[in-house]
Structure 1
Amino acid sequence: MRQPIKQLKTKKTEVITLATACKMLGISEATGKNWLRLGKLSAKDTETGKLIYKHEVEKLLLSLKKDGSNVLKSRRNKTALKGRELYVNYVSRESPNHAAVALLVNGFTGSTTAITALLCESFLQLLVDAKRIKTNCTKQYFKAYLEGTLDADIYDWLLLELMDKTSRNTLLSASKKLPSFTLHFVPFEDTLGLIYLSLMELSKRRQSGRYYTPQSLTDTAVETLQVSRGRVFLDPCCGSGNFLLRLLRRGARVEDLYGCDLDGFSVTLARINFVLSGNCSDKDTLQDHLLKCDTITCRSLPQVDVVLGNPPWGSCDDEKVVSRYARTLICAEKKRPCFADLFVERSLNLLKDGGIVQFVLPEALLNVASHETIRAFITEHARVRSVRYLGEVFHAVQCPSVILTLEKTSFSNASGDVIVNVGDSNYIVRRQRKGADFNFKVTDQEALVLDKMDDLEHCVKLKGHAKFALGIVTGSNNDSIFKEKIEGAEPVLRGLDIEPFKINPPDSFIKYEEGAFQQVAPMELYRAKEKLVYRFIAKYPIVAVDTHGMLTLNSCNLLVPEFKDLSATYLAAVLNSSAVRFYFEKKFHTIKILRSLLEEVPVPVASKEDHMYIEFLVEELKEADEVASKEIIKKIDRKIAEIYGLGKRALKLISQV
Structure 2
Amino acid sequence: MKKEQDELKYVDIDEAAKQFGVSAGTVRNWMNSGQLLKAVKIKKKLFLNREEVCSLKEEIFSGRMPRLQSRRNKRAVRGRLIPGEYVNSRAINAFNENLFDLITSEAGRVKSKLILSEIALNLMLEAGKIACKSDPEDKSLVWMLINQQIDCGCFSGLFSEFLEDDLKIQEADAECLLRVKKLGIPNERGKDLLGLVYMTISHRAARISNGTYYTPGSIVEKLVPKGLHLVEREFPRILDPCCGSGNFLLTVFLALKSNLVQKGLPPGEAEKLLLEECIFGFDIDSTAVWLCRVNLLLLCDTDFVPGNWHIQCDNALMGHSKKISGKFDLIIGNPPWGSDFSGNELTEYRKRYATARASFDSFSIFIEYALKTLNERGIVAYILPESILKVRTHLPVRKILLDETHIESIEKLGNQFSRVFAPAISLLARKTEIHDSGHQIQIENIDEKRIISQKRFADHHLLFFNIWSSEREHRILKHMDNLEGKLNLKDFADFALGIVTGNNKELVFNQLPEGGEPVLTGSQVYKYNYYTEGSYFVFKPEIFQQTAPEAFYRVPEKIVYRFINENLVFAYDDRKVAAINSVNVLIPHLPGYSVKYILAILNSRAVQFFYTYTYASVKVLRTYLESIPIPPCNENRQSQITGLVDKLLASNDSLTRQNLYEELDRMIMQLYGFNEADRSRIIEKTGKVKYLSKEGYSDLG
- Whether TM-score is above 0.5 comes out as yes
| Residue 115 of structure 1, aligned match among 112, 115, 118 | 112
TM-score by length of 1: 0.85
Q: State the Cα distance separating 1:149 from its structure 2 match.
A: 7.3
Partner of 1:296: 317
Contact 2:500/2:545 (CA < 8 Å) preserved in 1? yes
- Specify the SS of the correspondent of 2:499: coil
| Residue 553 of structure 1, aligned match among 580, 584, 602 | 580
Partner of 2:295: 273
Give the number of the structure whose residues are more often helix, by fraction. 2
Worse overlay, 505-514 or 208-217 = 505-514
Equivalent residues in 2 for 1:20-419, closer than 5 Å: 23=18, 25-26=20-21, 28=23, 68-69=64-65, 73=69, 75-77=71-73, 79-92=75-88, 94-105=89-100, 108-109=103-104, 110-111=107-108, 114-130=111-127, 132-133=129-130, 136-138=135-137, 141-142=140-141, 144-145=143-144, 148=147, 151=150, 153-154=152-153, 155-163=155-163, 165-166=165-166, 168-169=168-169, 173-174=172-173, 176-177=175-176, 181-224=183-226, 225-226=228-229, 230-252=235-257, 254-255=274-275, 256-278=278-300, 282-285=304-307, 288-299=309-320, 300-315=324-339, 317-332=341-356, 334-411=357-434, 415-419=438-442
CA pair 112-632 structure 1, distance change in 2 beyond 3 A:
farther
The letter for the 2-side match of 1:243 is F
Worse overlay, 526-535 or 94-103 = 94-103
| Distance (Å, rounded) in 1 between the aligned partners of 2:425 and 2:62 | 39
Contact 1:124/1:141 (CA < 8 Å) preserved in 2? no
Partner of 2:3: none
CA offsets, 1:426-474, max 9 Å, x none?
Answer: 1222474436463243333222222221122233222232221101123
Q: State the Cα distance separating 1:237 from its structure 2 match.
A: 1.3
Contact 2:110/2:176 (CA < 8 Å) preserved in 1? no
Contact 1:233/1:257 (CA < 8 Å) preserved in 2? yes
- Specify the SS of the correspondent of 2:123: helix
| Distance (Å, rounded) in 2 between the aligned partners of 1:14 and 1:161 | 47
Contact 1:161/1:268 (CA < 8 Å) preserved in 2? no
CA pair 507-40 structure 1, distance change in 2 beyond 3 A:
closer
Q: State the Cα distance separating 1:485 from its structure 2 match.
A: 5.2
CA pair 653-327 structure 1, distance change in 2 beyond 3 A:
same
- Specify the SS of the correspondent of 1:208: coil
Asked if 1:420 corresponds to 2:420, the answer is no
Partner of 1:3: none
- Specify the SS of the correspondent of 1:418: strand
CA pair 445-133 structure 1, distance change in 2 beyond 3 A:
same
| Distance (Å, rounded) in 2 between the aligned partners of 1:547 and 1:361 | 46
CA pair 521-21 structure 1, distance change in 2 beyond 3 A:
closer
- Specify the SS of the correspondent of 1:358: strand
**Structure 1: unaligned runs, 5 residues or longer:** 1-12
Contact 1:211/1:312 (CA < 8 Å) preserved in 2? yes
The letter for the 1-side match of 2:519 is V
The letter for the 2-side match of 1:589 is A
The structure, 1 or 2, with the larger RCO (C-alpha pairs under 8 Å, 6+ apart) is: 2
Contact 1:72/1:78 (CA < 8 Å) preserved in 2? no
Contact 1:233/1:306 (CA < 8 Å) preserved in 2? yes
The letter for the 2-side match of 1:324 is E
Partner of 2:667: 639
Partner of 2:682: 654
Q: State the Cα distance separating 1:23 from its structure 2 match.
A: 4.7
Sequence identity percentage: 29
| Distance (Å, rounded) in 1 between the aligned partners of 2:54 and 2:49 | 11
- Specify the SS of the correspondent of 1:353: strand
CA pair 431-98 structure 1, distance change in 2 beyond 3 A:
closer
CA pair 31-348 structure 1, distance change in 2 beyond 3 A:
closer
Q: State the Cα distance separating 1:346 from its structure 2 match.
A: 1.6
The letter for the 2-side match of 1:351 is L
| Distance (Å, rounded) in 2 between the aligned partners of 1:27 and 1:582 | 32
The letter for the 1-side match of 2:97 is A
| Distance (Å, rounded) in 2 between the aligned partners of 1:40 and 1:652 | 47
Q: State the Cα distance separating 1:270 from its structure 2 match.
A: 1.0
| Distance (Å, rounded) in 1 between the aligned partners of 2:628 and 2:78 | 42
CA pair 338-514 structure 1, distance change in 2 beyond 3 A:
closer
| Distance (Å, rounded) in 1 between the aligned partners of 2:49 and 2:599 | 46
Over the aligned positions, Cα root-mean-square deviation in angstroms equals 3.8
| Distance (Å, rounded) in 2 between the aligned partners of 1:512 and 1:610 | 40
CA pair 301-241 structure 1, distance change in 2 beyond 3 A:
farther
| Residue 623 of structure 1, aligned match among 651, 666, 676 | 651
Equivalent residues in 2 for 1:519-598, closer than 5 Å: 519-563=546-590, 565-598=592-625
CA offsets, 1:25-53, max 9 Å, x none?
Answer: 54555677999x9998999x9xxx99998
Worse overlay, 242-251 or 200-209 = 200-209
| Distance (Å, rounded) in 1 between the aligned partners of 2:199 and 2:175 | 23
**Structure 2: unaligned runs, 5 residues or longer:** 1-6, 258-269, 687-701
Contact 2:95/2:186 (CA < 8 Å) preserved in 1? no
| Distance (Å, rounded) in 1 between the aligned partners of 2:35 and 2:339 | 28
| Distance (Å, rounded) in 1 between the aligned partners of 2:403 and 2:452 | 19
CA pair 185-633 structure 1, distance change in 2 beyond 3 A:
farther
Partner of 1:457: 484
Contact 1:382/1:414 (CA < 8 Å) preserved in 2? no
CA offsets, 1:90-148, max 9 Å, x none?
Answer: 122x4212133235446755459633333233323434555555564446635533662
CA offsets, 1:572-619, max 9 Å, x none?
Answer: 221122211221122223231111211111111223343344334442
CA offsets, 1:173-194, max 9 Å, x none?
Answer: 5454567544311211112222
Partner of 1:7: none
TM-score by length of 2: 0.80
Worse overlay, 55-64 or 460-469 = 55-64
Aligned length: 635
Worse overlay, 594-603 or 307-316 = 307-316
CA offsets, 1:382-435, max 9 Å, x none?
Answer: 211222222222223323322211111122576522222223221222474436
Q: State the Cα distance separating 1:627 from its structure 2 match.
A: 5.3
CA offsets, 1:55-111, max 9 Å, x none?
Answer: 99777756777793558546543532322222232122x421213323544675545
Contact 1:305/1:351 (CA < 8 Å) preserved in 2? yes
Contact 2:35/2:503 (CA < 8 Å) preserved in 1? no
